[in-house]
A and B are shown apart, each in its own frame.
Chain A
Amino acid sequence: MKKTALVLALLLLPWQTALADAADAVRSPVGYGSKGYVWGKLLPEQAAAMKLSADPLRGKEAFRGCRGCHKPDAAGVTDGTYPRLTGQHASVILKQVTEVRAGVRINPKMEPFSSDHAVSPQEIADIAVFLASAESTRENGKGTGDFQARGKRLYEDGRCVKCHGRNGEGNGDNFYPVIAAQHYGYLKREMAYIQKGIRGNSHPEMVKAIKHYTDEDIEAMADYLSRLPDYRLSLVERQAK
């Protein structure tokens, strides 16, 4: 009897892990794919926070509540569980944090820590400018490097560069994120989420652009992007890397 229970429990283990993963991957009721979802239409809180005057020094202080996951140097966890935030556009940080707390981007891991008790709109604005100028002190997590060439070709030939730029620099004015030098694991996971339509706050054009790629294509692009240097380096430094 005991043995049967044990065997059953062991059999259920992988299933439970799969369930835990699936819990992350649910479609947002107000996000991408829902009726009335318009990408880039600012939530009232976002519009208000965008107008605040932000201060990186205050942001450094306010970032303390984020260190638990994103680490004191804001470079996240190398395996990609938590993204590297240094050098991300302030507008992107502001958009993502407020959309996580509004439930547009489903992120159960982060949701409790994005509440207005954890961070006020002013603090989000301050954190955003702090991160945009923060330096990375650690190497990011990279792919094997075996598929770089394929990744580069797919990235540059595809529609990716149109928004994210040749250096993976994104575009702060349009809320397009920096993707260069991001952790490989994070790039791979988020691209898969976007492809499946479960990132919640995806740009519909992005979902379309990524739709036809295979898992191997995505791995190759993640490999390539993780190996791009920080876009803030000068052109000379970038070419040397």
Chain B
Amino acid sequence: MHSASLNAYWQLAAIAVLVGSVLWLPVAQAQIPPLAERLQLCSGCHNPDGNSVIPENPKLSGLDPEYLVRQLQDFKTGNRKSPVMGGIIPLVDEKEFKALATFFHRQTPKAGGSVDAKLAAQGREIYDEGIVGSAVPACSGCHNEDGSGTEKYPRIASQHSTYVVQQLLSFKNGGRANDSKAVMRAVAKRMSEKDIRAVAEYVVTLKGAE
């Protein structure tokens, strides 16, 4: 009798430990790390101040926080595909998006690097005037003359040309399709690769301060 009740006691204890650990595990996983710790994950590619120095990776400094949250959500759902972000995003909880976006929004954007002046001049023509013959609207219409963007369209000033080319080509071939109502895709489809390279070169030179 005595040993039986002791046995039951241990059984109960074992169940309690099991149930407890099962309950505890997801809680431990959902623990959101402090922002500073989480930022280490981003800064490897985007730099601690969001001014990425790797031309393939976008600068995030000064971008609209809502735009950034939307991109993170789209990476999470697969609506926007990226081999790099696709691997990183499962590690980040959706609850963290807003704080991360706000952090990068508050960082001061750094001016772009040197450009091919001739190509940038061709790009400026397209950026400010559009290409009438191919029905390409002026980029400045939505992104502003200085590339500062609006509440509907993102800031693009001083962005890496390599990244801009990559994204516009992706919009053009439909690989990136998370633009609202396909507005950017419609424009990119009307541009040649040469137009895209010229515009991207000019975007580097934009300052973005309105």
A→B interface (CB under 8 Å): 64-69, 77, 79, 81-82, 109, 111-113, 115-118
The residues of A that contact B157 with a CB separation of less than 8 Å are: none
A64 to B137, CA, bound (A): 12
Which residues on B are within 8 Å of A, measured CB to CB?
Answer: 130, 132, 135, 137-142, 144, 150, 152-153, 180-183, 186-187
Q: Are B132 and A65 in contact (CB under 8 A)?
A: no
Contact A112 B140 (CB under 8 A): no
CB distance from B183 to the nearest CB of A (A): 5
Smallest CB gap from A119: residue in B: B152
Can you give 30 A-B contacts (C-beta < 8 A)?
A64-B144, A64-B150, A65-B141, A65-B150, A65-B152, A65-B153, A67-B138, A67-B140, A67-B141, A68-B130, A68-B137, A68-B139, A68-B141, A68-B142, A69-B130, A69-B138, A79-B132, A109-B135, A111-B186, A112-B182, A112-B183, A112-B187, A113-B137, A115-B180, A115-B183, A117-B152, A117-B180, A117-B181, A117-B183, A118-B181
| Other-chain residue from A66, A81, A109, A116 in contact with B181 (beta carbon distance below 8 A) | A116
Instruction: Give the docked Cα–Cα distance between A109 and B187 (Å).
Output: 10
**A111, A113, A116 — which one has the most chain B CB atoms within 10 A of its CB?**
A113
**Contact residues in B for A69 (Cβ distance below 8 Å):** 130, 135, 137-138, 141
Q: How far is the CA of A167 from the CA of B142 in the complex (A)?
A: 35
Given contacts A68-B139, A69-B137, A113-B186, 12 further A-B contacts (CB under 8 A): A64-B141, A64-B150, A65-B142, A65-B150, A66-B141, A67-B140, A68-B142, A112-B187, A113-B137, A115-B183, A117-B180, A117-B183
For residue A118, which residues in chain B have a CB less than 8 angstroms away from its CB?
Answer: 152, 181, 183
Q: Which residues of B contact A82 (CB under 8 A)?
A: 132
Q: How far is the CA of A163 from the CA of B3 in the complex (A)?
A: 105
| Chain A nearest CB, measured from B101 CB (Å) | 20
- Best-surrounded residue of A67, A77, A82, A111 (most CB of chain B within 10 A): A67
